[in-house]
Structure 1
Amino acid sequence: MIHALPVTIQDWRRLSDVTEISPGATPLKVRNALQHIEFAQIFRVFGRIGLLSFGGPAAQISMMHDELVVRHKWLTEQKFLGALSFCMLLPGPEAMQLATYAGWRLRGVPGGLMAGLLFVLPGAAVILALAMGYAYYGQLPLVQALFLGVKAAVVVIVLQALLNLSRRALVGVQSWVLAALGFAAMFFLSVPFPLIIGAAALWGYLASRGQVAAPSVTTPVPLGTTLRTATLWGALWAAPIIIAWAFGATFLADLALFFSKLALVTFGGAYAVLAYMTDTVVSTKGWLSTAQMIDALGLAETTPGPLILVTEFVGLLAGFAQGGPGLAVVAGIMTLWVTFTPCFLWIFTGAPYIERLLERPRLKGALAGISAAVVGVIANLSVWFALHVLFGTVRETRFGPLPEIASFDPLSFIMVGLAGGLLLWLHLSMVRVLGLMVVFAGALHGLI
């Protein structure tokens, strides 16, 4: 019987996904199967995913499905979809967390670390190079002209993200109401993003009160194991913040605290928190300008890995402005640490509970509420970006941003229309559209 084997029930479930094992398998067969997936194989597969993961979470998840379910058959369809649902419940980049979970199922914590880091590090290296180049040369007239094409593409890319999410998240009158309230609260009233997320989750949770959870068929995980895992990764998350504070590095501590808070509320992807991040980074902290934030998103779109790597770009530019290239690198590393260490915390602590969590309808209701509100938040971001790209002057008023009509830029309008045709009509890839828009902007600069 299964409980007589010298492996845990979690090992048995992990095993069932990577190899064919009958319920009557002997302990020797079980141990041999657990060693079936070599770290070298994991490195090759997730290294390839990390290097080629362009195009946002939908493309990244599709690539992982092809590699892990179809090609290598390391995960079953059911386990893959269940893990994806769990990762969507969590704050942070769901594609990176899905990669971490897949690695964890294959070879435990070392496999999860390898898969998660390989998904992030290639893009992080590209962001480092782009940010340092931008810091030195971003203000040159030619570079500024090229970024007109990037900004025009970003307006349409955010609009496309809004359309894609709305098709999945807005499935009834209640979800449309939540989306409208989310937009109004952020655009007109400047309600903080974490408060919008909390209210939407509570609404969805309460709306699901009448539903009954299915009987659990999973085996509980020892509480002590869960607490040890959470404590370890929580300490790793907090360690650089405490060190920076202890050594009087006020800027680094402030940077780490802000992006740690951001990591707790990043539901719905980077687009959902970008307006909140921009408001804090530009208006409250004064680390970057609005134009630099738009440029940061555009460059982050061109790199592999999760879009939330835009936080690294922000950290690098903020550090460069505060103390030059040395501080920029330290600030970039600090931002990466506090952005992605929580992802490992959520996965390694919560992965053994996936089946139990997905059986709870109220949790699903809370997630549905968050998803609907995030549509409104991204709509706010879409309008905000469009205003700042199409108008030279946008004033912040008591009831949201208000552009000066006289500052309307016809050239930007034409560029946004061109980007819209390439992305929404011709359906070219995001990276190709960004490249073409840079070429068009450069050509216009040469003619003008």
Structure 2
Amino acid sequence: MTKTRQIRYIIFLKDVLILALTCFGGPQVHLTMFLDRLVRKHNYISEAEILELQALCQVLPGPTSTQTITAIGFRLGGPSLAYLTLLVWVLPGTILMTLAALGVSFVGEANLINITRFIKPMGVAFIIFATYAIGSKVIKTKTSVVLMLFAAIAAYIFHSPYITPIWILLGGLATSLKFGQQEKMEKQPIKIEWGNFFIWLGVLLFAVVLGKLTHSLPIRLFENFYRNGSLAFGGGHILKPLLYNEFVEFKHYLSPDEFLSGVALVEVAPGPVFSISAFVGALSMRNWGMGGEILGSAMATLGIFLPGIFLIFFVIRFWEQLKKYRGIRASLEGINAASTGLTAAAALSLFQPMATDVVANLTVIFTLILLQTRLVPTYLIILGGLFLGWVIA
């Protein structure tokens, strides 16, 4: 590796760390910040390429933002830089959510809910702003407008985790029929390297068998989160109900109030929304003491992030060949349109319970003004909301 390239990789990892400390609000919000720092500021990748990668990651299960930024690292420096990118991106949010879990018994659930009272309306504002920012880039045809509206209506009416992958695939299929408008490119036979796919499947089967044989709680936690990470299409908004059903309703490892506190706190934590798994994993092993909570956080974090990374490493190796097919390139319009509609539906669903709350409405409006004018950095907006909640609490 040349010295120039090594320096570029170090600068890239520094940018990833800055994003890991300042990105809040989920994949669509993260994408706007990726575009600012990784495209416009340092030109690691083109805007078209990052939108392609985001669309590809939305089709796969797992954490969309994590897969996107890891894929960028893979493009720049191969697997080594990609794994370093993953570590730098995931670590800050995971550490904060682990500390939050350790502090639940110290602070108390009621105080946690009061401290984070402004964070949820701020999170809604972030999602609304992301819908507008990304939609203005990808919604350019009548077809994409229709697909966006249908996806938003379907997701708002039918609260099912299956809506996200169904509408993303339907959107992609609808616009793939417009392949005749795409430029013809010279195609070659697709060479698929199956290694990462078999690693993903092998780890899943091994964890299931080992958990059954040993009945070890840490191993079973890893398997639980690995399975959920393999099923969560559409990012953190889909993961939350999956974790709630398994760890609150079924296994009773957490109380509903504890889980809701974690949901609010993950809006405060920078980085991927999937870091809520560290919070859930830690509290699932609280009976083992502080060491057990840290172990539970580590097993949950590994379990939730690994499947999505194995799958993006599997697909990214033949993506350049695959996208030479006009139908694949045409499908990206529909995937992006459906994703924008799903994000809008998430914003509306989250806003509805607070629609009659004057303070929440003012918080949303004020946050949108700050985001649009860019007068205040994102992390200061979140910290300001947290500080106000603490003063009231």
For 2:165 and 2:37, the matched residues in 1 are separated by: 36
The CA deviation at 1:123 is 2.4
Structure 1 counterpart of 2:368, from 406, 419, 424: 424
Q: How many residues align?
A: 377
- Is the radius of gyration larger for structure 1 or structure 2? 1
For 1:38 and 1:237, the matched residues in 2 are separated by: 36
Q: Deviations over 1:312-338 (max 9, x none)?
A: 222222332x54433322221222112
The CA deviation at 1:354 is 2.0
3-state secondary structure, aligned to 2:194: helix
Q: 1:287 to 1:307 in 2, by over 3 A?
A: same
Provide TM-score, normalisation by structure 1. Answer: 0.70
For 1:368 and 1:60, the matched residues in 2 are separated by: 15
The aligned counterpart of 1:178 is 151
Letter in 2 for 1:338: G
The CA deviation at 1:219 is 4.5
For 2:293 and 2:154, the matched residues in 1 are separated by: 38
Name whichever of 279-288 and 160-169 sits farther off.
160-169
Q: 1:212 to 1:227 in 2, by over 3 A?
A: same
Higher relative contact order (CA 8 A, sep 6+): 2
Q: Could you tell me which runs of 5 or more consecutive residues in structure 2 were left unpaired when the two chains were aligned.
A: none
The aligned counterpart of 1:374 is 342
Q: 1:142 to 1:181 in 2, by over 3 A?
A: closer
- Confirm or deny that 1:433 pairs with 2:381: yes
Contact in 1 for aligned 2:28/2:131 (Cα 8 Å): no
For 1:319 and 1:172, the matched residues in 2 are separated by: 47
Contact in 1 for aligned 2:221/2:300 (Cα 8 Å): no
Q: Deviations over 1:179-209 (max 9, x none)?
A: 21221111xxxxx312x23432453355346
Aligned runs of 1:33-432 on 2, under 5 Å?
35=2, 38-39=5-6, 41-53=8-20, 54-56=22-24, 57=27, 60-61=30-31, 64-65=34-35, 68-69=38-39, 74-75=44-45, 79-139=49-109, 142-154=111-123, 156-158=125-127, 160=129, 171-186=144-159, 192-194=160-162, 196-201=163-168, 203-204=170-171, 206-208=173-175, 210-212=177-179, 215-217=184-186, 219-220=188-189, 222-223=191-192, 226-236=193-203, 239-249=206-216, 252-253=219-220, 256-257=223-224, 260-267=227-234, 269-320=235-286, 323-358=288-323, 359-361=325-327, 363-364=331-332, 367-368=335-336, 370-371=338-339, 374-375=342-343, 378-379=346-347, 381-383=349-351, 387=353, 413-427=357-371, 428-432=376-380
Cα RMSD after superposing both structures: 3.7
For 1:211 and 1:177, the matched residues in 2 are separated by: 19
For 2:55 and 2:108, the matched residues in 1 are separated by: 40
Letter in 1 for 2:211: A
Contact in 2 for aligned 1:68/1:74 (Cα 8 Å): yes
The CA deviation at 1:310 is 1.8
The CA deviation at 1:109 is 1.5
Q: Could you tell me which runs of 5 or more consecutive residues in structure 1 were left unpaired when the two chains were aligned.
A: 1-33, 187-191, 391-409
